Chains A and B, each alone.
Chain A
Amino acid sequence: MNFRSIRFRLAAWHTALFTAVFALLGLVLFATVQRYVEGTILETQARRARQIAETLLANEPRTGEPYVVREIEALYAPELGDRFIRVTRSDGSVLYLSGPPNDQSFDPASVPPAGTASAAEFTRSERTADGRSVLVAAFRASTGQGPRYLVEVGTSADPVERLAGHLLWTLALGVPLVIAVAAAGGYLLVRRALAPVEEIAGKAESITQHSLSERLPVPSAGDELAALSLALNRMITRLDDAFGNSKRFVADASHELRTPLTVIQGELENLSADPHLPADLRDRVGSTLEEVERLGKIVQKLFALSRLDAGEAQSEWVRVDLAGLASSTADQMLLLAEDRNIKVSREADGEVPVMGDRARLKQVLVNLIDNAVKYTPPGGSVRLKSYRDGSRAVVEVADTGVGIPAEALPHVFERFFRVDRDRSADGGAGLGLSIVRSICAAHGGRVEAESAPGAGSRFRVTLPLAPAASAPAKPSP
């Protein structure tokens, strides 16, 4: 799982927020309920204590203590009401102590004494010796000559604790369950909402310069993602237009240049064929003709490139053995290498069949071999190697030449790029390698270059291997 994904982060935030809110809510609920119930119970006890003090003990000087005791038992029956009542004289001796309550929830005898608190009326929560909790309200009864008795009325805190425990359990089980459901729901919801993003991203990844006619999927929800997808699609349309314009421009420009070039070339030829032309003029016309011819070549290459990029240049699609093609092409260029005292070696690992346009594929090899020979000093060597690599066909052209500087290497396949001016003394326009790249791309493959300046370069052409065919490949010319 990607922890940085929006899906995960949203779900995590959402869960954390839920947890915090529920925890706070639980705490507040728990505290409020506990305080309310405890308060209600204590209030009841306090009312009884006050009644006993004001109705019975206030008249004690007149009625006598035994009467008070009898009346308490008769009127309040503490044992039956699961309560405890204790009346203590101001000297600390106990006037009355109720017996064990009916439900045996605590032992009144073990409730600790009230201590030295001097308030007229107070409440407290006590723990008996056997560990039971008791809620006690106390009231000081005065009989005219100042307080003489302390009346305590208490009851077991068990119901409160049971309620609190119950509540705690409910919260402890319920809250995590609710959070889990909320988290899972949130995650699924976010995932569903973001699913089109992955689809859009995947499609966007697959659109290249050559497939600009394709468009991203637009979610049908009409939401923000649909708007995003539409906006991106409009951008792709603009890119498509821009690429199309530039391709059309190159195609149109090279097309339009052809006719005037034909006229210039024809007229200059005509001129140079004139026997009355002085030798120096003839030479100048010849020199101009050379440049016109070069211009014509550039125009043709540009046009070929624009057609290749438009994907309409394959005039045939046949099975071609790259190894055989490499070997026969090298044969036809052997003298070029021998002329510079360069050795050409060929290495092939059986047949390496691909599907494609034979003439175009040969052009790739011609350009690469020509480059290798051109940039290798006399005495060096050029090595051709063809092999299968899984489902791919590979041809490598390696030389022991001057190499390509690291900063130039990424640009060697760009149009009109030259490593340096001196290298193109023969008049190349810097289009050969872009044609190689375009042909490879048109065949569903690619070309890569690596180089160690001073030690040599290696160009590697990788094309999809042709599927096994029953018919044997065409023999090489």
Chain B
Amino acid sequence: MRILVIEDEKKVAEMVSRGLRAERHAVDVAADGADAWDMVRAADYDLVVLDLGLPGMDGSELLRRIRSRNSHVPILVLTARDAMATKVESFEAGADDYLTKPFAFAELAVRIKALLRRGGADRGNVAKVADLEIDRLRQQVTRAGRRIDLTSKEYALLDYLASHPGRVLSRTMIVEHVWDQSFEGLTNIVDVYVRHLRAKVDDPFDLKLIRTVRGAGYRITDEDP
């Protein structure tokens, strides 16, 4: 996929584009609004990552222009502003998603993946990781054919991990997805729920699927550790 990264901070742009290239995307970088506007008009991008705090043309002005020209391209906004206020502002201006700095690259990658998939493949009705099966229609979880009873939060947590198999999900991402923004900063809640989830999903089995990635978060995978 072809992605345009509009970011004036060189190191952030480098970090983001390097990460996205590692995920096999084609990445262009624009350092200011005018360049970005030229590039958007010249090429057809599958996704735009836009930093709102740009020199020259204001980020939200650029956002409006891109949106008026191409109403379909997914736009992910990066911002150094307050999360709650930005949410409303950027969605009003036509962003599809937003991320406040500082962010984990893993989170950016997950969000980009979700945006690129949108409109295409739906989430499957059944998610599978090794012998773990999640039936999304009946909200039932089985492992090795044995049914596992989960509370609704435990189910939401497992469902979220399983919809990004192999990927590291940060505690912040998990909190915002499974709970909501009001729980921001309350990251120990994730650890407690993961511990309870493991007791049901992993403890009775030899192969542990839910892995802790030090300093980053959690991921679900059947790879050898």
Contacts and interface: CB of A to CB of B under 8 A. Distances in A.
Q: Do the two chains bind?
A: yes
Interface of A: 255, 258-259, 261-270, 272, 282-283, 285-290, 292-293, 296-297, 299-301, 303-304, 307, 312-313, 315-316, 329, 332-333, 335-336, 339, 357, 359-360, 362-363, 365-367, 370, 426, 432
B153 A304 contact: no
Top 7 nearest A-B pairs by Cβ distance? Answer: A286-B214, A289-B215, A286-B215, A266-B15, A261-B102, A362-B182, A258-B101
Contacts of B80: 255, 258-259
Given A272-B214, A293-B171, 15 more contacts: A255-B80, A259-B12, A259-B101, A262-B102, A270-B18, A272-B215, A282-B214, A287-B215, A290-B215, A315-B84, A315-B85, A335-B151, A335-B193, A363-B182, A426-B188
Interface string B75-96: 0000011111101100000000
Nearest to A296: B102
Given A272-B215, A285-B215, A370-B186, A300 B19 contact: no
Interface stretch (B27-35, B103-111, B120-128, B203-211): B103-111
Contacts of A301: 185
A303 B106 contact: no
B11 interface: yes
B85 A269 contact: no
Interface in B1-57: 9, 11-12, 15-16, 18-19
Interface in B47-69: none
Interface of B: 9, 11-12, 15-16, 18-19, 80-85, 87-88, 100-106, 151, 153, 170-172, 179-189, 192-193, 195-196, 213-216
Nearest to A329: B182
Given A255-B80, A292-B102, A335-B151, A313 B213 contact: no
A220 B187 CA distance: 59
Contacts of A263: 9, 11-12, 15
Contacts of B188: 336, 426
Contacts of A297: 185, 187
A267 B215 CA distance: 13
A359 B181 contact: yes
Contacts of B82: 300, 303-304, 307, 313
A204 to B, nearest CB: 33
A268 B15 CA distance: 10
Nearest to B16: A266
Contacts of A300: 82-83, 100, 184-185
Given A263-B11, A332-B179, A272 B216 contact: yes
Contacts of B106: 269
Nearest to B13: A263
29 contacts: A255-B80, A258-B101, A259-B102, A262-B102, A262-B103, A263-B9, A263-B11, A263-B15, A264-B102, A266-B19, A269-B106, A269-B216, A270-B19, A270-B105, A286-B214, A288-B215, A292-B102, A293-B104, A293-B170, A297-B185, A300-B82, A303-B81, A315-B85, A335-B153, A335-B192, A336-B192, A339-B196, A360-B84, A370-B186
B215 A332 contact: no
Given A262-B12, A267-B15, A269-B104, A313 B85 contact: yes
B215 A293 contact: yes
A261 B105 CA distance: 12
B214 A283 contact: yes
A74 to B, nearest CB: 123
Contacts of B19: 266, 270
Given A258-B101, A262-B12, A339-B192, A268 B215 contact: yes
Contacts of B186: 366-367, 370
A326 to B, nearest CB: 12
Contacts of A290: 214-215
A329 B153 CA distance: 13
A289 B216 contact: yes
Nearest to A257: B102
A301 B193 CA distance: 24
Nearest to B106: A269
Contacts of A292: 102
A443 B193 CA distance: 32
B84 A332 contact: no
A374 to B, nearest CB: 9
B84 to A, nearest CB: 6
A220 B111 CA distance: 63
Contacts of A304: 82-84
B86 to A, nearest CB: 9
The residue among B19, B84, B180, B215 with the most chain A CB atoms within 10 A of its own CB is: B215
Contact of A432 (B179, B185, B214, B216): B185
Given A313-B84, A316-B88, A335-B193, A261 B101 contact: yes
Contacts of A313: 82, 84-85
Contact of A265 (B87, B102, B151): B102
A265 B214 CA distance: 13
The residue among B180, B184, B185 with the most chain A CB atoms within 10 A of its own CB is: B185
A370 B192 CA distance: 13
A288 B179 CA distance: 26
Given A283-B214, A304-B84, A316-B88, A269 B151 contact: no
The residue among B153, B172, B181, B216 with the most chain A CB atoms within 10 A of its own CB is: B216
Nearest to B151: A335
B102 A299 contact: yes
A336 B100 contact: no
Contacts of B195: 339
Contacts of A365: 182
